[in-house]
Structure 1
């Protein structure tokens, strides 16, 4: 079997031809050649120019030299082809042609020709000497297969004979035979002896080729691919690796390196990537290592290796490609932090593309645990860099990125981003419009061009409004009754998102006369009461409303009843509402008159109209908080505290509390309902002093020591932006109140013996009963410009009843198909108390 392998490397006829050439060189005067084996492999960069299949070289040039009788060139070309293609089997026709070319005189007996061709040479054997080398001559005429199968003893005898004869040709013959038999030490011996005997350059080259063949054989043996092993293995034993490393560092390092490189590329082309990888690593061939890893499907290892060798542009590019792939793969696998790391490493190598920037942002935002951590900042930077290259605000990819960037910023940061990036501004406008509508911020919704708001009605045109209202309070007979009738006309408009309105009021107030013997002013009223029972007067009021994202503001100023008994003051309210993520918070500061009676609202005169007192002003604050704790469920609480004072009226304070829980039934009832909230409530009202009387020092307003109410309520509103809309509010509960026996003249020193009035007190009262109210509001769009609205309500409690109603007509130019609840008459913060 070894001879078969060797025949594939170097056929027997060729060896005979080349051996004969060396023996008859002097006689012919031509070039002499020696048998040679070379396994050098061309560099990787030249491989594409070679034949695509090892073992089948282009022999056109060889045939040309043979046909032109160019013996030396033909032998050199054959040697080159054998060196470049170690596994090539030389065709028999080429062997025959070369033999005839090298032996033109007598192609039969090699040794006889050699002897005849050198009759005068000092190295030409004599007749006796010819007899001595007969065994070698006979051995030379055998085929290479026959020579390879000689016994060890016979080979030893021939080696001894060759040593004694000291002829170049016989040492070369035995050197190649030893190589065929795998006797590398013997082959080394004979080639070194031949090296000492060569005479021509061709002979020297034969020795060099032989010694190179030994090196190649040692390499093949270490690779497990030698002539003694048919099975080709990819793995290399540790000992063999050490041997190859030693050979690379030895005198034949260049040959070893070239041979191993050729073997490595052969394995690579044969898709034996693991074996190629081992050799490329041994040779420190970066290109081969990278390609072999890729061939094995070890893309991650190949990429990491490319990054290790990133000192060259080629590997720098490969490293970048690997990191870009890793960045995407890690993200797709949900390994967001590793995707971030890959993206950052890629950014250190080259500028990220917009898609890579965006992916870095997505990975970092997913890996982030808070808005203040490092990943959050990485995401902000990456998304910002992506948006900086945007073309239009509405591009889908930009919208997604802008949405993510918005989620990483607080309100202040979002505002800054909106100024910088059109897509952020576009999204924020859409988000704000979408959130403004359910919050009943219809002015903001209109300004943000929400289609629902702009279709429903025009908000920024001038408005003319006129209306009538009436309210009636029935309590104790006489002064306990109070009626107010108001007519008004106003104009309004909008400037830079600020909605304004001014109105002129005309009011008629009527209280009735005190009942005979009832306490009034400084004593008990008589039948001939000459004081005022009411009056009519004019007033001015102005208000502004402003709505911004998650914020409402409202303010009003009034100067009512120019000629009322007690000089009027400038009154009004400041109200603000914040729509926070978890809670809606509203607060109002107010400076308003108590409107329970003529005495508390405007003041009055005594029966002789010589003294005036009253006009009670409440200075206080109201706070409301509401929270939706689960779908359709919410809880709310309201607190109001105020200090009261008036002209000739004792000071007082009060505290009001209310809490309720409600559930929205609308989704289960009808799609025409915006909401229908039902639930229980509890309220408390308490004053420091009972100043409900109509004598000096009293203010004529309801001021119990306490009033507790518990019950249920319902509030229903139909859908927004329809042509008509109504709102219905009802409540029913059980109330308990107590009115203490406080002084009838609280400004007098108690029990002053000089004034008998100082010891008089109000009667003590405590009662329990039902209380409730019902309010119906509605509005209807008559046309694009005209809307009519109204309300009617009724309330009752222990010894108390009240009624109120109103109607209004509005004109506003522009188009409109519906109405919104912010323009229901009692939805104004002036009446509701909060900017909601």
Structure 2
């Protein structure tokens, strides 16, 4: 027969309480409830009718809190999946008789005696009231009987039992009211009430002493309970509970004391579990306190037991500790051991995968991580990071295809971070999937403008020849700067230095001598072979003075003045010159002269305009000269067109004019008035074709007018040499035709080479060293097969007297070797010069010049615009 019997109220400081205490009577169902304080705790027991012990069903947290690991050990619970032992209630078999002493029946002898002596008061009602726990009524009954029977004394046994019940009530009240001081006093007065037989009260007294800080009496009591209690479960439970009342050192000393007590096999297992749990708690505390040396020492002692018990939670605890300390090899061993013990342990698998990842063993990390559940967030993170790491390695090895393979697998684990998307785009670009790459780069740049995506947009769009499509995207930085820099670089490569500097001053502001205020002085010499006094010519330009200054950001104004000294040597007495009359010369022949040749010019990257005069002090008055040139450029083509009026510098007659030594008539000073078109077309793979057409009208003072047409064409291959802007090896063809042969020096002739047909074909090497360096050199080396045909010509064109010069033909080889250069001496000084030799079957022409230039702004390099092109051209 079952009955629910007991809820005991304990109100000791340090012990918890329950709200209601139910006190059981001997009769079934006779129960009264006593209301307790909110902090009370309940011990509820279920008892069979033939049982002598009660089972504790719930323990309050603020009095006797069992560490879950020990309670599990005592209950022999099975660890959960991840190795962490779960807390379960500790079951302690406490003798009910040691807590509540049942009322005794009235002795039979007493009853018989009362029946035999009816004159004495009847005490049976008193015993009945006692058995019904009506202690107040018992006392009232005794008092009443003593007043009725003055000589009567209450039975000593009843008095003793009543006193005992009153003590028990007092103890219950003290416990219920949590009066720790009163409880400790009761413990001192009635130690027998707190013996092993009343183990629950003994624990309550221990908790009170712990609350009051009575360390010595507490330790003495606990040592007594641990060593003297007959029931081993009480001893073990005391060891367990005492860890909340003692310091760790005191508790471990108590465990050592309890080790000497006898135990059953089951008790020994529970005691060893308690010792083990103490060790692992020490281990956990050391890890929490970051006491690494103690952790290592404790784990070395506990590891065999941990492995034997397959305590995976402790293995993982230490494994994660080692992982955080970057002791990856040790962590790997522990994670692997835990995983071998429990293959489905996700904690161990995750840790092992992380170790492999930290060790850069990404293939193993992937293999291990794939064993995690598909919906595990950690699994996806591991796989994503591992595949990204492998993609980085492949990308660093420039293996674009493998990079894309890894990134494709990474996408299955999660969204790619931005840097991975950039790797994907660059890999597509490397494989030639430029359109796809450009779309990704543009999308990434729109989402987050940065240097990497901007560079990708530039590279892919330019490769697709979509440079114009960059502009709509280049409204923000950094693409705006990169695009501007690209355009400026293109302009710079096209020699459009003014525009490049204006667009990107940071890069090209200090380049060369672009539009820097400057002045220079030099000398220029030319010697052309020919007949002395006639076609032979020596030109000395000493000095050559120049000055330049910028006009805004895009142009430069140049002013030059040259003193030109011409000399053709001594004229032979039998030379056919002027009117050709025989006899003595009435006037000295013109074989030398000196004059000034001024010129002013302005240029930018598109236009070049000049206005000047032929040298003064000649036999024929000076004439204006000049030109207008325009250059248009595209990515692969350049077209230069010009209109010009220039002197013919082939003899004194053609350049400044002569006087007839017989009549004194002045004639000559021939001007070329023409149009010239030059074109260059890039063909790809560094091949190019170029062509020029030149149409001229020539006239001079008393010189027969003439017409000239010239055509030039070539094909060339840029050798793509690192130190050169270009080095083009080509094959050229040239054809010139003059309507009249006016190369002679009689009246009506102009004294300039004017063949009916001039044809040349041959190879040439044209080169220019790199721009923006400390020096720059431009040169040409050409060889050609030449065929020349000069037509017959009257002595006096326009006044034919029947005499004529015979026609002629001449074939042979020619060559040209020339170079001009500029060297930067320092930030303010440049020195330059030129050398040239032109050799044809009928003449040889040699040129040289030297100059020094002063810059009025600091410049760090030189450009092709610093070459003495105008001075050099002014010799021909």
- TM norm structure 1: 0.48
- TM norm structure 2: 0.46
